[in-house]
Each structure stands twice: as C-alpha cells, then as structure tokens.
Amino acid sequence: MGFFIENAEALITFDNSNMRVLRKTNIAIEDGHLKCIGKDCVKSRDMEVIDGSHKLVMPSLINSFVDPLSIINKPRCYVNNEFSLNELLTRFTCLKHVLNGLAGFISLNRNILEYDICRDLKIHIAYLDKQGSIESTFVEGKTVLSFPYIDLNSDEDLDNLKSTRKTNNWIFIRTPLTRRRFFDIKRITGKWVIELLNDYNLISEKTVLIGLNWVSATDINYILMNKPVILTSPSQSMNLGEYSYLPVKPLLKGKVPLVLFSSDYSLLGFNLYLEYPIFYLLTKFLYDGLNNGYSFVIQSTITTPYSILGLNINYLIEGSKPTLVIFNIGYRGDWFANLDLNPLLFLETTVEYLFIDGEPVLTPSVRSIYVSELKSIMNELFLRGCLD
C-alpha cells in the first residue's frame, strides 16, 4: 500500500549546494518510504492517488533512506558566485507558502537573510538560542512572552506541582518520560500523568504536553472525553497493550485541539529543544481556532538541511472543518502505520485572507504582488537549472 501524489511541486535538497524545485512532478511513497520523484515516476496498482496541484511538497534532505537512483530528473542546480541560491530558494519557499497560508518560520540560528526575507513577506520568525530561550519578531523590536514551564523529569518540579497555579498564560509541560519515570510518577503520586496534572488544575485549553511518549489507558480515555489538552511528539514508544496507537479519528469528531509534531528526528530526541519555539508559534497562530473549538492535527517536519525549519500551517480562517497538514515523506514514515489516519491528506482550502493579531497579512492585492514576484523568481530558478 502506498500513496501517489500527482502534479505537485517539490523542493528537493541533496546537500547545501545541490537543490532543485520540480514542477508538476509525481511523488510515490510506498510503505512509508519515498520511492521516486519526477514526471516519469509512475504509481503502483495499489497506490492511493492524491492530487498535489497547488501544493509545495518538501521532502526532507534526500539521504540514505532514499535510493538516489530512484529519483527521476536528479537535481543539477548549484550555487554560483553571481547570485545567492540560498536567497532565491528561501524567497521562493516563503512566497509559495505565504500564498497557501504559511504562518511562520523557526530558525535554528540567526540567519539575517531568512529574517529579512520573512519580515518583508510579513512572515514571522522565531529564534532559538543555545540556552533554549526564545526571541521573536512577532512584536517589532521586542522579545515577547515567557511561559510557565514544567519538566516532569525533574523531581523538584514534580514536588512543586501542587504549588503551581494555572494562569492566563499557556503552560508547557515537558513529558519525554522514560518508561521507568512514567511508572515512577504513578508510584509516587498514585496518578497517571494527565490525571495528576488535571488534579492539580493544570489542564486547560492552554496546556501543551510536550514529548508525551508514554500514555496510559486513563490518559487516552481522558483525551477522548474531549478535554482541552494539546499533545505533541507521539513516538514509537506509545505502545501500552491495546492502546498501541493514538485514535485520531475519534478526536477529530470532537473539539479536542490535538497537535502532532513529529519527524524521524523526534525519535532521536531532536525535538527536545525544537518543540518549545514550535509551540510558541502555535499559540499565536492557532489561538483563535482553539478558542472557537476547531480541531487541528498538524504534523511538521524538517524541510532543508540548513537552518530553515518550515512550520506549514494552512490557516483556517472560518468554518469548523478540522485541519490536517501532514507531509513527512522524506524520511521513514513507518510509525504512521500505528496511527489511524491517512498520513498524506492535504487541506484543499486556499487562504485568500490571513490575519495575524488583527492585521491583514495576505489580501487579494498583496497576493497579486506575491504571485508576480513568485513567477519572476521561478523564471530565475529555471534559467539557472533549478526548475525542471
């Protein structure tokens, strides 16, 4: 069983200086693995066909997980001294995604180029420093928001839970617990994780459970009761008896704001310092949706090997249709086999208006300007051999 995406655009990256955008290309994924990319890529008989029109699919860095010989029209686009390929592709990516509702970028280092491009396009960017603190440009010239943060791996934090008070701010609770720690908390407190936090009045619509890689039957039942909690980083260790997968479909039927953040890196602990700024962004861009009872399932992945992490949110302005954005196709996707959902569903809505903090970001007139600039960049990339 697999998936076959037709007529998509794909940004393919082989290394820092060898990348290309394929237009109207086909992408085949079989058993969670990327099999081929290109116009000549054909589907197998049992593959489900997905319309990729008007979608920019960004497989992660093509590496040992993918057989390079399976990639049709292998990219031959290299950096030269006359123009900055980094700048062109960054701007191309920004434009493509802002036209489809991109909310923001997260940068792993202070890349002034990224900052300038994103700022010019009204796309916000957040930085993560070595200490894990967040600096953001959401408010011009200011560093904003400091959230209460609880680490259940800390005995001190566990002891101080009773004194922790729910505030009007978002509460981030780190729960990348080992199996031993998971059951230690049960032994020490007599409660499972979510049950314990609820007893301490810490579960609300502004609670984010980060790295929840162990859950109990009690936790699952609690979630299914439509309690307003956000989960992140489901991993392959989510296997406790009959609860061997997270039942997403029942969640979508309710109004539980469920967020799935994962990639192959999350299984290696890469997300442990990435997830905090990601949810910083989510609090800004999903706040209205969550308050209006929308259900969100968002899965983000690494998109390029150098400092650009794309958080692709098709921002749903009105209506209550759950938003599902999943594009983790560049790396192993075998853990999706444990999830009761189609791992390659794309929201068909094209956002005509995008408002952030009440300010119009993408209006028809701005869209027209972006489309015009995008065409110009695409022409430049084509002349340089970066487009097929």
Find all residues with CB under 8 Å of 336, minimum gap 6, and list them: 32, 328, 343
Q: Write out pLDDT tens, residues 78-105.
A: 544 444 665 666 676 666 655 654 444 4
Query: What is the rounded average pLDDT for all residues in the chain?
Result: 50
Q: Which residue from 118, 61, 93, 183 is spatially nearest to 374, judged by alpha carbons?
A: 93
Q: How confident is the model at residue 33 (pLDDT cuts 50, 70, 90)?
A: low
Distance, CA of 106 to CA of 265 (rounded, Å)? 16
**Could you give all domains of the chain from N- to C-terminal order, each with its CATH number?**
2-78 (2.30.40.10), 145-351 (no CATH)
Pairing of strands 124-128, 104-107: parallel
Segment 276-300, tens digit of pLDDT: 333 333 333 334 343 444 433 333 3
What confidence tens digit (pLDDT) does each residue in 166-199 have?
555 556 666 656 667 777 888 888 887 777 877 7
Cα-based angle 248, 48, 99 (whole degrees, multiple of 5): 75
| Amino acid in the structure at residue 336 | F
Residue 81: Cβ-neighbour burial (10 angstroms; 0-12, 13-18, 19+):
exposed
CA distance 366 to 352: 10
